[in-house]
Homo-oligomer: A and B are copies of this chain.
Amino acid sequence: MVETIRIEQKILGRNDELAAQNRSRFDAAGVLAVTLVGSPGSGKTALLEQTVQSLRAFRAAVIEGDIETDRDAQRIGRLGIPVVQIVTNGTCHLNAGMVQKGLDRVDLPNVNVLFIENVGNLVCPAAYSLGEHLRVVVASTTEGEDKPLKYPAMFRQADAVVINKVDLLPYVPVNLAEAREFVRRVNPTADIFETSCTTGAGIEEFSRWLADRGR
């Protein structure tokens, strides 16, 4: 077991180095890098679709991380946004090295905001910095209110938590005030947004928050 831990520390140490290199590239090009993480089906791609359209004044690009398929990249590509698909082939998270390879296919000098959508997983991506400036956790109302307590590592690191699918609130047994309170309990400083990618609710507020942080 000691050997395993040593290997893990080596991997995470190397990841941090590559993440720092990614960050330098973002900063040199004046790019705001934003990671989206969340459970499968929480609505990360839908939120991206809405947000890049709302941020038309910005030149956006997207890196999509998936275990298999390029379905998400196809969705983003249909909007005319430059998109790079990373297929992890079974790996449960993106790491900084994968993103670095993806960056070689992004025209960074012509981008203001780079979104990186991680693999749908509320656990493992928390351990791997990608060099991003902002981390956004997307959680759906249908997941219930207690996920921040049950998966605290991810919520603790978030700069923003987006509670998505608020259009379903009349139909799901979830208490939104309690959901917010549980986010607060593990992360007192994250900004919290309530959105629906079906009705467009909250998209403008979230986009404005991003725009305020862009360069």
Contact = CB atoms under 8 A, between A and B. Distances in A.
A140 interface: yes
Task: Place the interface of chain A in its size category.
Answer: 35 or more
Interface in A1-55: 3-4, 7, 11, 39-41
A60 interface: no
- Give this chain's copy count: 2
Contacts of A198: 173
A147 B71 CA distance: 11
A142 B165 CA distance: 9
A153 interface: yes
Given A41-B39, A41-B147, A121-B121, A68 B152 contact: yes
Contacts of A79: none
Most buried by B among A7, A150, A165: A150
Contacts of A144: 41
